[in-house]
Structure 1
Amino acid sequence: MQDKSKLQRPPFDPKLAELLPRLEGYVPVNMTTDRINEFRKMPMPSLAEQIGDRPVQCVDYTIPGYGGFELQVSVISRKDHVKPGPGIYHIHGGGMVMANRFAEASVLVDWAMKHDAVCVTVEYRLAPESPDPIPVEDCYAGLQWMDSHAEELRFDPERLVIFGGSGGGGLSAGTTLLARDRKGPKLIGQILQCPMLDDRNETISSYQYDGVGVWDRTSNLTAWTAVLGDRRGTDDVSIYAAPARATELGGLPPTFIDAGAAEVFRDEAVAYASAIWAAGGDAELHVWGGAFHGFYAIAPNSELARSCIAAREAWLERLLTR
């Protein structure tokens, strides 16, 4: 039997590799349970900083979440928005244990400007304080609210897309499965960037990247344990919590998936796209050679990130103009 702890791993792109020493202590590598709060305290750009001088507004709402809990969502749109355009529902990353709804909101500001999109981002509850099924159910509650308030928010409910990266990518996939199985909001597409899909952590890539990169095997195990507790890795895990466990991926909207070739989530991203194809579905997959987790946000001006963002933007453009 192959010793997975001694696997060779694909190298990082030289330009990205230069960044890793500077990221030490600022990215979740070797994150154990006692360090979750440490990483929660890491500074992030404010929404105002991400909007800058662009004519974009943000309006906060309090909505009913799972189990009667009140959730906060924020609606990001152009100040001169009038005509109903597309709606984009955002679920933030952070391994389901950290960050907030404004993480990576700059992408939503970009889409509000470019597509006149109405973007909703949800403050779902985090593990371990709020374990499964709370995170994914909160996200589904936010999607339902957005869909049912299309007229008030002034977007076209027939052009609703879900988007998330990392832990938010896994939650987006789980929310999309819930919408399919509960015959809920109709999504025309899902964008899953470097998605966190599989609690079992038995892929080759999950063993290749431990103690290196941006989000490693140890951090992944810690986060999944926070979400699932003793159920992690057992048969008692739903497809909505860990979408990689789904055996039937028919009936999903067109899907964009990407990942770095040099990260934990590479193999589960490839497997999820393959399962969609096996079910006769529509998926576009990109695996970026030499890229670590979240490279497109950490090093947005790198050649690899520019290519990644261009591919995502081209896919979304095609989707919205069908």
Structure 2
Amino acid sequence: MPDFHPDLRRTARFMPRDLGLPRTLGLQRRLDALSRLRRVPDVSVIQLPTGASVRLHEPAPTSAPTPALLWIHGGGYVIGAAQQEDRLCRAFAAALGITVAAVDYRLAPEHPYPASLDDCGAAFEWLVDHPTVEPTKVAVGGASAGGGLAAALAIRARDLGLVSPTLQLLSYPMLDDRTGPDDARAARGFRWWGPRSNRFGWASYLGDCDPDIAVPARQEDLRRLPAAWIGVGTLDMFHAEDVRYAERLAAAGVPCDLAVIEGAYHGFDAISPRAAVSGKFFESQCAALRASFSS
């Protein structure tokens, strides 16, 4: 048994090492559809011109515009829904007194690059222009593939001269299509996301595009990007690529706070949100957001 964090050992025993994509794609999509049927009070859903939508979580009423966070869900670019992030988005809004928008972007392989990135860009522009939001204090964040899209959105904003996020909040982001397990022993610690699903997710997302353009970790120039917070567990398949990306950001002069969680697997905070280690992970995210909004 891998050396899981004490708070995560019990749940790790019953979790798969890999979702088994593409074999389970149909089942995962059906589960996503069921999640969308749940009605959650006090959440507005806004349709965007691209065909995507945004779930808006607002703090207690205030007379002044608030900082904001665009949150991008995970799912390997091929599954997932914004509604799966309702608990986390409400927590960010309540803890920080900010507006949080979660984007439901188009999924691959039906909609390969750049469809999902276009949707996230449209959602970010919408959020910046929202009347209750302070436009100079809007961060972008996401988990797994959502973290990869957040990183790509920051790069696109720099390259095109668009409004830049105040912070990249990247939870175990999916950044590099070249990633595989370092060795068989490391793979025993993976949960939910493994090499097979990773290959399928990236192939679906990239389609026929040039990965040197679409993949954040393949970008040679990381200068002039927004400050970043990157959090990842040591038993996450993305651990090595995330640490490398954080090091490259720092070398390029981009402030980057790297939080490495010993014995944590992929998505641990979503699977075990009440665990103490997950609470500390959330507190670290909130601290990074507060600092970015106060600067």
Tell me if TM exceeds 0.5. Answer: yes
Instruction: Tell me if structure 2 keeps the 8 A contact 1:211–1:218.
Output: no
Aligned partner letter, 1:18: R
CA deviations 1:241-264 (Å, max 9, x no partner) are 310111111111110001010010
In the TM superposition, what is the alpha-carbon distance from 1:237 to its structure 2 partner?
0.9
| Aligned counterpart, 1:298 | 271
Alpha-carbon deviations, 1:216-258, whole Å to 9, x = none? 1111111112112466xxxx3144x310111111111110001
3-state DSSP class of the match of 2:211?
coil
Q: 1:186 to 1:37 in 2, by over 3 A?
A: same
Q: Alpha carbons of 1:205 and 1:304: their partners in 2 closer, same or farther (altered >3 Å)?
A: farther
Which residue among 168, 190, 197 is the counterpart of 2:175? 197
Q: Distance in 2 between matches of 1:206 and 1:199?
A: 19
Matches within 5 A, 1:80-91: 80-91=61-72
Q: 28, 31, 45: which one pairs with 1:60?
A: 45
Shift of 1:211: 8.4
Provide the aligned length of Structure 1 versus Structure 2. Answer: 293
- CA displacement 1:76-100 (0-9 Å, x = unmatched): 2135243101011111111111111
Equivalent pair of 2:189/2:235 in contact (CA under 8 Å): no
Provide the secondary structure at the position in 1 that maps to 2:90: helix
Query: What secondary structure does 2:138 align onto?
Result: strand
User: Structure 1 residues 76 and 115, CA, compared in 2 at 3 Å: closer, same or farther?
Assistant: same
Q: Is the 8 A contact 2:175 2:242 kept in 1?
A: yes
Corresponding residue to 1:31 among 17, 20, 41: 20
1:288 aligns with 2:269: no
Does the C-alpha gap of structure 1 residues 120 and 192 become closer, same or farther in structure 2, counting only changes over 3 Å?
A: same
Q: CA deviation at 1:34?
A: 2.7
Q: Which residue of 1 aligns with 2:30?
A: 41
| 2:205 corresponds to 1:227 | yes
> Which residue matches 2:10?
18
Cα distance in 2 for partners of 1:91, 1:60 equals: 15
> Using a 3 Å threshold, how does the CA distance of structure 1 residues 115 and 307 change in structure 2: closer, same or farther?
closer
Matched residue of 1:186: which SS?
coil
Secondary structure (helix, strand or coil) at the match of 1:41 reads helix
| Consecutive unaligned residues in structure 1, runs of 5 or more | 1-8, 52-56
| Structure 1 pair 74–145 and aligned structure 2 pair: CA distance change class (3 A) | same
1:260 aligns with 2:241: no
* Residues 144 and 184, structure 1, Cα contact 8 Å, conserved in 2: no
- Partner amino acid, structure 1, of 2:153: T
TM-score of the aligned structures, taking structure 2 as reference length: 0.90
Please give the alpha-carbon distance, in whole angstroms, between the structure 1 residues aligned to 2:37 and 2:62: 23
Letter of the aligned partner of 1:64 in structure 2? P
- Report % sequence identity: 30
After superposition, give the CA deviation of every residue in 1:43-79 in whole Å (9 maximum; x if it has no partner): 6597756x7xxxxx322222222xxxx2222222135
Q: What is the distance in 1 between the residues matched to 2:286 and 2:38?
A: 21
**Which AA in structure 2 matches 1:214?**
W
CA contact (8 A) 1:159 1:188 kept: yes
Report the CA distance between 1:181 and its aligned residue.
Answer: 0.7
Q: Provide the rounded CA distance (Å) in 2 between the counterparts of 1:312 and 1:29.
A: 26
Q: Is the 1:95–1:220 Cα contact (8 Å) retained in structure 2?
A: yes
Partner Cα distance (2:223, 2:181) in 1 = 23
Q: Runs of 4 or more off by more than 4 Å in structure 1? A: 43-49
Match of 1:5 in 2: none
Q: How does 1:91-240 map to 2 (within 5 A)?
A: 91-147=72-128, 149-150=129-130, 152=131, 154-202=132-180, 204=182, 208-209=186-187, 212-229=190-207, 236-239=210-213
Q: CA RMSD in A?
A: 2.4
Amino acid at match of 1:126: L
Superposed displacement of residue 133, structure 1: 1.5
Distance 1:86 1:134, change over 3 A: same
Q: Residues 46 and 278 of structure 1: is their aligned pair in 2 closer, same or farther, counting only changes over 3 Å?
A: farther
The worse-fitting range, judged by mean Cα deviation, of 208-217 and 307-316 is 208-217
TM-score for both structures, normalised by structure 1: 0.83
* Deviation of the 1:137 alpha carbon: 1.7
Separation in structure 2 between the aligned mates of residue 146 and residue 138 of structure 1, nearest angstrom? 12
Q: CA deviation at 1:29?
A: 1.1
Which amino acid letter does the alignment assign opposite residue 157 of structure 1? P
- CA deviations 1:263-314 (Å, max 9, x no partner) are 1000111011111111011000011110000111111222322221222222
CA 1:34–1:230 in 2, change beyond 3 Å: closer, same or farther? farther
